Amino acid sequence: MPTTLRVAVVGAGPAGIYAADILKKAVAEQGGEVSIDLFEHLPAPYGLVRYGVAPDHPRIKGIISALREVLESGVVRFFGNVRFGVDIQLEDLQRHYNAVIFATGAVKDAPLVIPGVDLPGSYGAADFVSWFDGHPDVPRTWPLEAEEIAVLGVGNVALDVARMLAKHPEDLMPTEVPANVVEGLEASPVTDVHVFGRRGPLDVKFTPLELRELGELRDVDMVLYDEDFGVDPDEEARKANKQILVISRVLDQWRQRETGAASRRLHLHFWSRPVEVVGDDGVTALRIERTRPDGQGGIEGTGELRDVPVQAVYRAIGYFSSPLPGVPFDELRGVIPNEAGRVVDGVRPVPGVYATGWIKRGPVGLIGHTKSDAKETIEQLLADELSWWTPEDASPEAIPALLAERGVDWTDIAGWIRLDEHEIGLGEPHGRARIKVVPRDEMIAISRATERAER
């Protein structure tokens, strides 16, 4: 091992930060030394915990305290507002590190190829989530003009989207929801949110905790349809799975509830496959085809089409990763091809290049799963000493000098702490967890303390 192993991690979400932490601990156990530089294209760290987890999920956002400890451990440096492939290239990393780990996640919507999907009023969940989480790179306003809305997919993202659309905005107030988002939601005329699963009520991807939360929304009725239940011939056998049993019990309880008093409704539809977004210059309906079990564990269309009147459609059918310049990419699966985290080009390993998190295995699994993922990747990296890069200049000063020479306004850990404290301070007088600073230039200015922040 070199005197100090130098590793770059691209992506400062949970996957990248866990990888840094596990690497730091593993090298220390071997009696070695490591220095890790985390590069992030946003000025703030924490990836999907800051910009993907819904603002009314403070428990999950709490993961940030553990991630922050890693950033402040002294072994890891943070370089925010640095775009891989623009501000820094693979060749730069080769010149200054022994290896790189890509942990860039998946932030785009998976494509859905049905007629009308590009109509105005048809949106990807990823964009909407970015908006309600105050992502600096999306517009500040969101067109919330529909009274009836369809959400496609029955995963946790679909539930986040449906909940944020149906929830009365005043019930979001103690959270860190950005001010522009509250304003947008307050103007929303929504009365009905329809969530569609293409399979049955026991084939959902969301988790029981997140489902239960819907039933607790104030002044929102949960509406289920009898025709969707008792369709799957294996229903009873499948309830041997505890998670399925819990979900089925929650849904059954809701079916017994009185409805009609609430001003908003959240409908759950199953056995409904989206086939067309209907409309001329805007969405007027979602066309679904009813489905049924095909007897082999899958589904088949029944040929029965129905138009559900809606004025907006949100696709929450999964995320998809983006390719990185100079790094192999599997266009079909949306991942960097790899064997246990070791990046491969065809069948040949690419020396010095590793992947972890959603870019490694696809956009499934909870945040905690990226830990075991990172462990596997780090094991490969440490076993590969003979194929690591030999950097020309491994000095820690080389990177800040390079970024300065290229005119990059990078942010560091001290800058993040400054921004973090600033946001918490903005929230305090209003009894809010924080008020997020949304514009990128303002985030950078506060982090770099070069200008007075505008409120």
Q: Write out the residues near ligand NAP by the rule CB under 6 A.
A: 57, 60, 112, 152-158, 160, 197-199, 203, 205, 207, 210, 274, 316-319, 363-366
Cα distances from 321 to residues 39, 109, 124, 133, 134, in angstroms, run: 17, 9, 14, 19, 20
The angle subtended at Cα 448 by Cα 442 and Cα 452, nearest 5°, is 55
Helix (H) or strand (E) holding 446: helix 440-448
Min. distance of Cβ 16 from ligand NAP in angstroms?
A: 17
Between 318 and 352, name the residue whose CB sits nearer to ligand NAP.
318
The nearest distance, CB 367 to ligand NAP, in angstroms, is: 8
The residue of the chain with the least Cβ separation from ligand NAP equals 155
Using CA atoms, how far apart are residues 213 and 224, in angstroms rounded to an integer?
A: 16
Strand partners, 101: 9, 354
Query: End-to-end CA distance of the chain, in Å?
Result: 49
Sign for the CA dihedral angle at 268, 272, 276, 279 comes to: negative
Cβ of residue 106: shortest distance to ligand NAP, in angstroms? 8
Answer yes or no: are the C-beta atoms of 157 and 204 closer than 8 Å: no
- Shortest gap between Cβ of 299 and ligand NAP (angstroms)? 8
- The sign of the dihedral angle between the CA atoms of 93, 94, 100, 103 is positive
Rounded to a whole number of angstroms, the minimum distance from the CB of residue 366 to ligand NAP is: 6
Tokens of residue 403, six digits? 């970024």
Closest CB to ligand NAP among residues 105, 415: 105
List residues bridging with 288 in a β-sheet.
Answer: 274, 306
Its sign, for the CA torsion 68, 70, 73, 77, is negative
Sequence-ordered list of residues with C-beta below 8 angstroms from that of 74, at least 6 positions apart, any chain = none
Question: What ranges make up the beta strands (E) of 356-431?
Answer: none
Cβ closest to ligand NAP, residue 370 vs residue 447: 370
Min CB(265)–ligand NAP separation in Å: 21
Nearer to ligand NAP, 168 or 212 (CB): 212
Cα–Cα distance between 62 and 345 in angstroms, integer? 38
How far apart, in whole angstroms, are the C-alpha atoms of residue 195 and residue 331?
29
Q: Which is nearer to ligand NAP, 150 or 443 (CB)?
A: 150
In the complex with ligand NAP, the residue whose CB is nearer, 277 or 336, is 277
State the nearest-atom distance from the C-beta of 86 to ligand NAP, in Å.
27
- C-alpha torsion angle, residues 347, 353, 357, 359 (rounded to 10): -60
Dihedral sign computed on CA atoms, order 202, 203, 207, 210: negative
Strands 122-124 and 312-315: parallel
Sheet holding 285-293, edge to edge: 272-278, 285-293, 299-309
CB of 207 to ligand NAP, least distance (A): 6
When the beta carbons of 84 and 196 are compared against ligand NAP, the nearer one is 196
How near is the Cβ of 320 to ligand NAP at its closest, in Å? 10
Residue with Cβ nearer ligand NAP (314 or 389): 314
Which lies closer to ligand NAP via its Cβ, residue 184 or residue 363? 363
Using the minimum distance from each CB to ligand NAP, give the nearer residue, 274 or 293. Answer: 274
CB of 254 to ligand NAP, least distance (A): 18
Q: Minimum Å distance from CB 414 to ligand NAP?
A: 31
Q: CA of 352: how far to CAs of 101, 256, 329, in Å? A: 8, 58, 16
The neighbour count for residue 382, using CB atoms within 10 Å, is 18
Nearer to ligand NAP, 297 or 346 (CB): 297
